[in-house]
Every structure is written in C-alpha cells, then in structure tokens.
Amino acid sequence: MRRCTAVALAAAALLALPAAAQTSGLGLLNSILGGQQGGSASPAAALGSLLGGTQPTATAAPANDLMTLLSQADGTIDETREIEIGRQLAAVLLGSKPLHADAALQRYVNQLGRWISLQSARPLLPWTFGVLDDPGFNAFAAPGGFVFVTRGLVDRVDEAELAGILAHEITHVTERHHLQALRSKARAGLATQLLGSQIRTSNAVGSLVSQQMLALGRNLYFSGLDQSDEFEADRQGVALAARSGFDPYGLPGVLQQLRSAAPDNPLFALSLSTHPPAQQRLDLLEQAMGRRLDALAGKPVVRIEQRLAQPKR
C-alpha cells in the first residue's frame, strides 16, 4: 500500500505542475541543446557547453501537427518530428526535476552515453544525456535521443552498471518504443476528447491538443512501457554495453539491486512500478545470454567518483 501511495504522490506532483514550470523546463532544455550561456554558469549553460554548443535542432512543430501524426494509424513520423516529440517530452521531465548542478558529473555522463550511442543502431541522432537532481533511483528516455538518469541512481552504481542502464535507455530510443506507446495512447485518447468536446475554433483545438501532448508524456512516464519493450531493451542493452567495451553484467547488477529493494522504499517505488519484476528480468536475461558473454566479464570495477577525480586531459 505504501509503495502505491509513493507512486501516486509522485504522479500527482507532476500532473499538478504549473504551466510556468513546464515553460521554464522547455527553456532549460533549449539552453542545454543550444549551449546558450548567460553571464553566470548555470547548470543548463554548463551542460550546454559540455554538449558542444552546436546541437542540430529542428524547427519546432506545432503540438497539433505532432499529435495528428501520433494519432494516424499509418502516418510516418520522420526523424525530425521524432526529435521534436522527444524535445517536448524531455521538457516535461526538466520542468519537474532540475538538472543536477555538478558540471563534472554532467560531462562524464554525456561522454559515457555518447560513446555507447555511437555503437548503437542510430549513432547520428543528436544524443543528449542529463542527470536530474532527484534522490530516487530511476532513468528515463524520450524519442529522438534524450536520456536522463537521476542523481540517486548515479550515487548507487559503478561505471559498468551505469553503462548498462544507459544502453538499456538508448535501446528504447533506437527501437522507437516510446513512439509506439505514444501512438497507441494518442489514438485511444485524443479522438475521444475531440469528439466529446464542443470545441470548434482552431485555437481552442490546438490548446486541447497541446494539453493532450503533455498529458500523454506524463502518463507514459508513470505507467511505463510494455513489458516486451523492457525485456527487449534489457537484451539489446546488455549486448550494446558489451560492444561498447563494458562488463555485460553491469545491467544485471542493477537488476539485483532492484530485486533487493524494499517494495515500500519511496526512492525505488516509481522504478519498481513501471518495470517488470526484477527477478523475471534477470531470468529472461540469463536465458538470452547464457554463458556467451562470460569472456567479456570481469573487467575492473570503476567507481564513478574515481572517474570524476581523474585530472582532465
């Protein structure tokens, strides 16, 4: 019961997020992607400079155009639109939780994530990684190459485990899992709301669609993806981490932590509620991996604080 309460409280907090916070989150994300730096070294500006300051950005598409694409059963969403959808969903996350202020940690996670993404099926996406200032144990991804991990997660894992988590989230993006889930939710929900309303003006319809877009994103992050998508991200994530030079048993190590977490621990509640049981994930990974990756295991354990303490080159 306490676990359900913790998840409900977290969901309520985000669902009640004021429009101003959502707007500032989107502005923060744009700052990160564009590397715009003001007079002070804010976390957003710092991360923008770490990302190179020249991330390619697509012209923002109106929310109603994006929702129309999502609602069409046979509509094609090109990469430009996929990135824009991801940008809007990432803004929801950034509006809820600020970026962690440690620029060195942001740099490290971006370097690690970008290296792994280069070994993925979609290396040319404008991959963006960030650490949210949240004590919970969680990770999120959005279409188009946006990946976030929480400070609470980073504090509890070593480098191989973090690589496994990032590879798992990168796989969600490369396989377009979130887009598929959004399309399903959009087709089910948007048409019902529009047909049931008395709205007739284009501006009012656009406002409703924009609200629906944000609601879809919030709902997705608190309901989770299909279990089959999570299992696929586990399998491919382990292989991607190994291909990137990391111990393939990093992700299983994280799953063991989740298996040991108390169900009523509020720091793990959201992650546990939006993913299949950790033991089931471990069992399926063992079936898929067998002993085939043992030769790649056993690399020295590197703590993240060790990496951050190394002198810059």
Q: For the chain, give every domain's residue range.
A: 63-197+205-309
pLDDT at residue 244 above 90? Answer: yes
**Per-residue pLDDT for 87 more than 80?**
yes
pLDDT score recorded for residue 119: 97
Q: What pLDDT sits at residue 48?
A: 37
Instruction: Kindly list the strands in the beta sheet with 128-132, ordered across the sheet, starting from the edge strand earlier in the chain.
Output: 128-132, 146-150, 139-142
Amino acid, res. 194: L
The predicted structure's pLDDT at residue 70 = 63
d(CA 286, CA 280): 10
Whole-model pTM?
A: 0.75
Confidence of residue 100 (pLDDT cuts 50, 70, 90): very high
pLDDT surpassing 60 at residue 200: no
Confidence of residue 205 (pLDDT cuts 50, 70, 90): very low
Closest to 267 in 3D by CA, of 163, 153, 162, 165: 153
How far, in Å, CA of 233 to CA of 210, rounded?
Answer: 29
Closest to 125 (Cα-Cα) out of 146, 145, 111, 110 = 145
Q: What is the pLDDT of residue 289?
A: 82
pLDDT of residue 189: 59
Tell which wins on pLDDT, 236 or 206: 236
Rounded to whole angstroms, the Cα distance separating 37 from 40 reads: 8
At residue 159, does pLDDT exceed 90?
yes
Question: 197 pLDDT exceeds 60?
Answer: no
